[in-house]
Structure 1
Amino acid sequence: MKQDAHIQPMLDVHGRPAVFAPLCKSIINARAMSTAAFGSVCSDPGGEMLLDLYWRESQGLKTSLTSMWLASKASEMTARRCLAAMEEQGIVERMPDPSDGRRTNVRFTAEGRKKMDDCFSALLVGYAETCQDCARNCHDGPSSDGCASLWNSVPFCALLGDLSVASTGRRQ
């Protein structure tokens, strides 16, 4: 019998799917590239677990303890310590899987979800500020530190409008 691996996807306060899911996936991919480039010096088991849990919940997927251990990219004992600290802080909670009594799932608490959303929001504000700085450099004329040289001729400052809307809710 196939296990039901789905839950209700995360929704924002307006009932829309989690708006930060694409950003979360991008961070997961960037962290994987960092790990590939720099190895264990970039290790952050707790961060990996939180990002994976956020992504999975945004997609409506249950997250088992085993999945959390795998996401940590660390030993099971390290992952257990991270999870215990998250539980102690009220970020996540464990619950039995109703379709398999042997399995335990993990999910964000409302407070944990809010903290993750706040972190993603802060990142977007930083990205928007970076875009504004880049746009100023581009508009001031070509320079060695302009966006074209920083981003290999990709018009990074063109993202300014989209990120400004994401971080502030209005076009700047």
Structure 2
Amino acid sequence: MKKENVAELRDLATRILGLTEEQGATIELYRQDAKPIQAIQYSTDLIGDDELWRAARKELARKRARTEFLPAEMSTGACWTMLLDLFDNKRRHKQVSITSVCSAAMVPTTTALRYLGLLFTMGLVERLSDPRDARRVHVRLTGQGETAVKQTLQRQIEVERRIDEEDLKENNSRG
């Protein structure tokens, strides 16, 4: 697909998402059945502050890396989870139903379907009819979708390694 077409599709997906939100649809950021976070006592003998800080830096770097290959609204939350689930199932040679991929997103079905629609529009996923049951539809990553996930994961691994190397150099310079 040409870069111009990809850019146009990204713009369209962003506008669609904006329109759905303007029409009163809300993106639920938290599961409704989630329990409040309770204070947990951590032992710094097990996980030190430096390790927690490194984990936070890596998480931020992973999020930034995802936006290099995917539009921001597709690189976090439900969209990213669906892409990862489809990538995992493709590697396992398993077919995935629309219901299953929506469930994997861990958001309300209507929200998952809206995001899945954006992934279809972007050409990252495609529908496949079940040859044994005409009522059932499967979903899978397209070649473009698989490439986007692979590039994103590769970039995330690279930035994590860079952080590890920086920390190692810093620790060596201290001692």
**TM-score over 0.5 for the alignment?**
yes
Q: Give ranges in structure 2 of 5+ residues lacking alignment.
A: 1-33, 38-75
3-state SS in 2 of match to 1:96? strand
Report the Cα offset of residue 37 of structure 1: 8.7
Deviations 1:136-166 (A, max 9, x none): 0232234xxxxxxxxxxxxxxxxxxxxxxxx
Matches within 5 A, 1:94-105: 94-105=127-138
The TM-score normalised by the length of structure 1 is 0.55
The question of 1:46 aligning with 2:46 is answered no
Residues 1:96 and 1:37: Cα distance change in structure 2 (over 3 Å): farther
The TM-score normalised by the length of structure 2 is 0.55
Identity, in percent, stands at 25
Partner amino acid, structure 2, of 1:94: R
Separation in structure 2 between the aligned mates of residue 118 and residue 131 of structure 1, nearest angstrom: 20
Matches within 5 A, 1:1-172: 44-142=77-175
3-state SS in 2 of match to 1:52? helix
Partner amino acid, structure 2, of 1:56: N
Structure with more contact order per residue of length (Cα contacts < 8 Å, sep ≥ 6):
2
Q: Structure 1 residues 48-57 or 114-123, which shifts more?
A: 48-57
Q: Give ranges in structure 1 of 5+ residues lacking alignment.
A: 1-34, 143-172
Partner amino acid, structure 2, of 1:64: S
Report the Cα offset of residue 36 of structure 1: 8.4
Separation in structure 1 between the aligned mates of residue 171 and residue 159 of structure 2, nearest angstrom: 18
**Number of residue equivalences:** 104
